[in-house]
């Protein structure tokens, strides 16, 4: 059996459609977890001022943030994404005297303590200035923070400021990892096939049953971002109408331990298996280390350490 590319498979259910907005893909998925997530977004979208969106790397936290912005009263205003190094600058540009906007602080769990202190001071200064200028509620900006780790755990271990956490997590939304909503895999797959096939001039319209079974057996440590990367590579390799199991080489090395562990000399060491997978993902990402780290669900510094360690491993000889 294969999953055909029909019009219905590439559109969202009526409940999800309002969360698409501004050309962005909707928050899709028929699993209980995603239905609950959409309900949360719909309930708070029109009312929030500050929200914390938490989930593992690659779970599409930015998509959730954009959906929140799209449902807010300032949906016609800019949506600004700021990475860790840009937090303070972005907050200054989105201060109380500027036009309304939604600001996504992407990756707050990666902030060093010194930067957390500066960010907290900036937030307090903005609140004080807003009070002085009597900014109207209709012009209020929204702030969304995203984190790959549980900030409560970081607070308990002294790695995150309690006061900053309380300010950011007025409302908290948890995005589930892909392995906990595998029933959504066919729908997500169709979304990416529908995007990449015309983009790369391919004619992929279906995914074969054996390919889907292999994908469903995989744990997807990089979540939806890893799925996107894998399917992009598969579409580029597929010359026909059907994406088959043979187009999933990266998954084959992960999900078939007997084959993936078979390195020169018969070694089956865990570190060799991990090194081979890391290098394969990096290759699939065109050598982009930032992208590879996102797919693997690890930080860039961790990826660098793994790459340094692998240079002397047997797997590279």
Residue 194 forms part of a structural domain? no
pLDDT value of residue 137: 46
pLDDT reported for residue 1? 35
Q: Is residue 302 part of a domain?
A: yes
Q: Which residue has the tokens 């948890």?
A: 174
| Average pLDDT score over the chain | 79
User: So what's the pLDDT on residue 307?
Assistant: 82
Same domain, 170 and 278: no
Assess whether 283 and 158 both reside in one domain: no
Query: Looking at the domain assignment, is residue 208 inside a domain?
Result: no
Same domain, 42 and 152: yes
What local confidence, expressed as pLDDT, does residue 80 receive?
92
The answer to the question of residue 18 being in a domain is no
User: Could you read off the pLDDT of 237-290 as tens digits, one per residue?
Assistant: 888 899 998 888 656 444 433 333 333 333 445 556 677 778 888 877 778 888
| Confidence (pLDDT) at 256 | 37
Whether the per-residue pLDDT at 106 is higher than 90: the answer is yes
State the Cα–Cα distance between residues 155 and 203, nearest whole angstrom.
50
pLDDT of 139? 52
| CATH number of the domain within which 38 lies | 3.40.50.300
- Domain edge (last residue) among 174, 198, 217: 174
7: pLDDT strictly greater than 70: no
In b/e form, how buried is each residue of 161-198, taking b as 16+ CB within 10 angstroms?
beebbebbbebbbbbbbbeebbebbbbbbbbbbbbbbe
Percent of the chain with pLDDT over 90: 51
Judgement on whether residues 45 and 148 belong to the same structural domain of the protein? yes
Q: Is residue 308 a part of any domain in this protein?
A: yes
CB of 227 closer than 8 Å to CB of 284:
no
Domain boundary among 153, 174, 195: 174
Kindly state the average pLDDT of the residues 20-27.
57
Are 143 and 47 members of one domain? yes
Checking if the pLDDT of 196 tops 90, the result is: yes
Question: Which pLDDT score, from 0 to 100, does residue 17 have?
Answer: 38
Contact 252, 216 (CB under 8 A): no
Q: What are 200-244's pLDDT values in tens digits?
A: 999 998 999 999 999 999 999 999 999 999 999 899 888 889 999
Same structural domain, 282 and 162: no
Question: Are both 62 and 159 inside the same structural domain?
Answer: yes
Is there a domain that residue 15 lies in?
A: no
Residue 184 in this model has a pLDDT that exceeds 80: yes
**Total number of domains in the chain:** 2
CA distance 251 to 105: 32
- Are 45 and 165 found together in one domain? yes
Residue 97: pLDDT band with limits 50, 70, 90: low
Please tell me the least confidently modeled range out of 73-82, 113-122, 143-152, 305-314. Answer: 305-314
> Would you say residue 96 lies in a domain?
yes
For residue 134, the model assigns a pLDDT of: 56
- Predicted TM-score (pTM) of this structure: 0.71
Q: Is residue 228 part of a domain?
A: no
Average confidence (pLDDT) over 105-118: 92
47-63 pLDDT, tens digit each: 999 999 999 999 999 99
What's 276's domain CATH number?
A: 1.10.10.60
Last-in-domain residue among 151, 174, 197: 174
Res. 37: pLDDT tops 80: yes
User: Taking 50 as the threshold, does the pLDDT of residue 138 lie above it?
Assistant: no
- For residue 10, pLDDT over 70 is answered with no
Q: 298 pLDDT exceeds 70?
A: yes
The residue segments making up the domain with residue 62 are: 32-174
């Amino acid at each position: 059996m294969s999953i055909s590319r029909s019009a219905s498979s590439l559109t969202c259910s009526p409940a999800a459609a309002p969360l698409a907005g501004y050309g962005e893909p909707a928050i899709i998925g028929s699993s209980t977890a995603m239905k609950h997530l959409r309900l949360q977004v719909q309930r708070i979208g029109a009312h929030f001022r500050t929200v914390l969106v938490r989930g593992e790397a690659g779970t599409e936290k930015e998509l959730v943030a954009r959906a929140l912005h799209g449902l807010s009263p300032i949906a016609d205003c800019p949506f600004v994404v700021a990475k860790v190094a840009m937090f303070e600058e972005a907050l200054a540009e989105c201060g109380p005297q500027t036009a309304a906007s939604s600001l996504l602080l992407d990756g707050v769990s990666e902030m060093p303590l010194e930067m957390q202190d500066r960010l907290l001071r900036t937030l307090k200064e903005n609140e004080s200035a807003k009070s002085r200028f009597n900014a109207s509620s209709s012009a209020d900006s929204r702030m969304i923070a995203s984190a790959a780790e549980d900030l409560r755990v970081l607070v308990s271990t002294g790695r995150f400021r309690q006061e900053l956490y309380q300010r950011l997590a007025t409302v908290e939304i948890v995005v589930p990892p892909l392995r906990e909503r595998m029933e959504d895999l066919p729908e997500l797959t169709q979304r990416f096939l529908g995007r990449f096939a015309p983009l790369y001039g391919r004619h992929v319209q279906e995914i074969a049953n054996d390919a889907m079974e292999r994908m469903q057996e995989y744990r997807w440590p990089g979540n939806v971002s890893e799925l996107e990367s894998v399917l992009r590579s598969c579409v580029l390799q597929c010359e026909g109408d059907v994406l088959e199991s043979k187009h999933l080489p990266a998954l084959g090395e992960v999900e078939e331990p007997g084959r993936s562990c078979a390195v020169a000399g018969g070694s089956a060491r865990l570190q060799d298996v991990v090194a081979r997978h890391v290098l394969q993902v990096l290759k699939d990402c065109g050598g982009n280390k930032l992208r590879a780290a996102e797919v693997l669900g690890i930080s860039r510094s961790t990826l660098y350490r793994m790459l340094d360690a692998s240079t002397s491993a047997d797997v590279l000889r």
